[in-house]
């Protein structure tokens, strides 16, 4: 898809959202089925079924997807598609790869290390792009800035968001 095609597709959406901001507000949903017999949760992605389980570092078999890995995969997917869309909108050509790594201490997940303040969850995430292009530094800086600005998963992670839990 080229710049003009992207603009053509997005123009009526932008106009609609300017005229009716409430039309841009969408609630995304994810659902899963608890699998007590194998300590899993089957999540429907809309395209496939993903079965998530415990990470091997917490007693899982390693045969099921780890939700921590899935979080990093969501970040990679969102950042990657956002960068491609931004590059297309700026009429820049980019190719390459994107990678996310996250550090966590599984003692927190297992309820250990409370006295030491061991947290549950990631303590640091690194997102990196390896681009194959000949863009100048200014274009690369703009591409990075706009990718960070418009990536939903990145913005959610760095900004935090209230999560309401009900039972």
Q: What is the pLDDT of residue 35?
A: 80
Is 165 contained in some domain? no
Is 167 contained in some domain? no
8 A C-beta contact, residue 124 and residue 158: no
Residues spanned by the domain of 139: 3-159
Spatial distance between the Cα atoms of 40 and 144, rounded to a whole number of angstroms: 37
Q: What is the pLDDT of residue 121?
A: 92
Q: In a structure prediction context, what are the per-residue pLDDT tens digits for the chain, which is 167 residues long?
A: 889 999 898 989 999 998 998 988 888 777 777 786 778 888 887 778 888 998 999 988 889 999 999 999 999 999 999 999 999 999 998 999 999 999 999 999 999 988 999 999 999 999 999 999 889 999 999 999 999 999 999 999 999 999 999 99
Does the pTM exceed 0.75?
yes
Is 76 contained in some domain? yes
What are the backbone dihedrals phi and psi of residue 80, each rounded to the nearest 5 degrees, phi first? -65, -50
85: CATH: 3.30.300.20
Provide the token pair at 68: 């921590």
Is 164 contained in some domain? no
Q: Is 122 exposed, middle or buried (0-12, 13-18, 19+ CB in 10 A)?
A: middle
Is 7 contained in some domain? yes
Q: Provide the residue count of the chain.
A: 167
Q: What is the pLDDT of residue 129?
A: 94
Spatial distance between the Cα atoms of 87 and 93, rounded to a whole number of angstroms: 6
Which candidate, 98, 73, 72, places its Cα nearest to that of 84?
Answer: 98
């Amino acid at each position: 898809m080229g710049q003009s095609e992207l603009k053509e597709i997005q123009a009526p959406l932008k106009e609609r959202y300017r005229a009716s901001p409430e039309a841009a507000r969408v609630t995304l949903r994810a659902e899963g089925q608890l699998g007590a017999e194998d300590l899993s949760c089957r999540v429907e992605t809309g395209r496939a079924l993903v079965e998530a389980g415990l990470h091997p570092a917490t007693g899982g078999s390693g045969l099921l997807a780890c939700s921590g890995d899935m979080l990093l995969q969501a970040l990679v997917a969102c950042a990657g598609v956002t960068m491609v869309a931004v590059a297309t909108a700026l009429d820049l050509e980019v190719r390459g790869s994107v990678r996310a790594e996250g550090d966590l201490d599984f003692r927190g997940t297992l309820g250990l290390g409370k006295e030491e303040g061991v947290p549950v969850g990631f303590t640091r995430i690194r997102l990196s792009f390896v681009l194959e292009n000949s863009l100048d530094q200014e274009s690369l800086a703009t591409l990075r800035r706009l990718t960070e600005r418009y990536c939903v998963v990145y913005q959610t992670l760095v900004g935090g968001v209230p999560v309401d839990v009900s039972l």
